[in-house]
């Protein structure tokens, strides 16, 4: 096994543990935004897609690269924007909490 592969394997295994640990206690209401957020993070495949597409030199690689970059960019941009839109709603909730803390005159 090459050194590089060994390094990669180490990162891989450690990242599994971190991934489990980091979200072990998450309230139900955040399940959807969290799923959407992780969804955006795997858009990092864009890095791979660009690496492939940049060197495109044949019809096949051009088509593959174009589709891959488009799909991956959609994943990244759409993923983060839609997550933000979901979480924007929680802001409304926090401003709504304040008047409730001090009973509003009716």
Partner 1 sequence: MNTLIALAYLLAAVLFILGLKQLSSPKGARNGNFTAALGMVIALAATVPLLHFTRAGAVVVAIGVVTGTIVGTVGARMVRMTAIPQMVALFNGVGGGAAALVAVAELLKFGVHPPFAEVFPSVFSIVIGSISFAGSMVALAKLQELMTGTPITYPGQQIVNGLLAAAIIGFAIAVLAIASIPFSFLSLLVLALILGVAFVLPIGGADMPVVISLLNACTGLAVAASGFTLNNFALIVAGTLVGASGSLLTKLMSDAMGRSLANVLFGAFGQVHAGVRAVAGGQSRSVRSASAEDLGTLLAYSQRVIIVPGYGLAVAQAQHAARELADVLEKRGVDVEYAIHPVAGRMPGHMNVLLAEANVPYEQLKEMDQVNDDFKNADVALIVGANDVVNPAARSTPGSPIYGMPILNADQAKNVIFMKRSMRPGFAGIDNELMYGPNTVMFFGDAKDSLTKLVSAVKAA
Alpha carbon distance 98, 103 (integer Å): 9
Q: How far is the CB of 51 from partner 1 (least distance, A)?
A: 6
Measured from the CB of residue 7, what is the shortest distance to partner 1 in angstroms?
A: 8
| Least gap, CB of 61 to partner 1 (angstroms) | 6
Distance CA 47, CA 4 (A): 19
Cβ neighbours, 10 Å, residue 51: 11
CB 53 within 8 Å of CB 69? yes
DSSP at 23: T
CA 42 to chain centre: 5
Give least dist CB 102 to partner 1, A.
Answer: 12
């Amino acid at each position: 096994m090459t050194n590089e592969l060994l390094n990669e394997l180490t990162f891989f295994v450690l990242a599994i543990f971190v991934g489990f640990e980091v979200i072990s206690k998450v309230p139900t209401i955040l399940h959807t935004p969290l799923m959407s957020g992780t969804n955006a993070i795997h858009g990092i495949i864009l890095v791979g897609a660009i690496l492939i597409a940049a060197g495109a030199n044949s019809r096949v690689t051009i088509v593959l690269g174009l589709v891959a970059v488009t799909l991956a960019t959609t994943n990244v941009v759409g993923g983060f924007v839609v997550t933000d839109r979901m979480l924007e709603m929680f802001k409304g909730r926090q401003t709504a909490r304040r008047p409730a803390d001090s009973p509003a005159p009716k």
